[in-house]
């Protein structure tokens, strides 16, 4: 699982006009799954089910 920063650099993710992360393939806004026991949260694309981790 890559980080969101690396996904932005590789072109897998984009930011829309409201600074929300969107998947480049599906063009859908990523959902956020937050686990309180982890240091990071997981961003999931609802279209293609790919995941990226987002450090807090």
How far are the Cα atoms of 25, 32, 45 from residue 54, in angstroms, in the given order? 19, 9, 13
Residue 56 above 80 pLDDT?
no
d(C-alpha 7, C-alpha 2), whole Å: 7
pTM score: 0.84
Strands 40-44 and 31-33: antiparallel
Strands 13-15 and 21-23: antiparallel
pLDDT digit string (tens) for 3-46? 999 999 999 999 999 999 999 999 999 999 998 998 999 999 99
d(C-alpha 15, C-alpha 9), whole Å: 11
């Amino acid at each position: 699982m890559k980080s969101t920063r690396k996904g932005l650099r590789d072109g897998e993710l984009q930011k829309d006009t409201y600074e929300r992360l969107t998947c480049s393939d599906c063009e859908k806004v990523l959902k956020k799954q937050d686990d309180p026991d982890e240091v990071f949260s997981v961003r999931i694309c609802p279209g293609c089910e790919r995941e990226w981790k987002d450090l807090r």
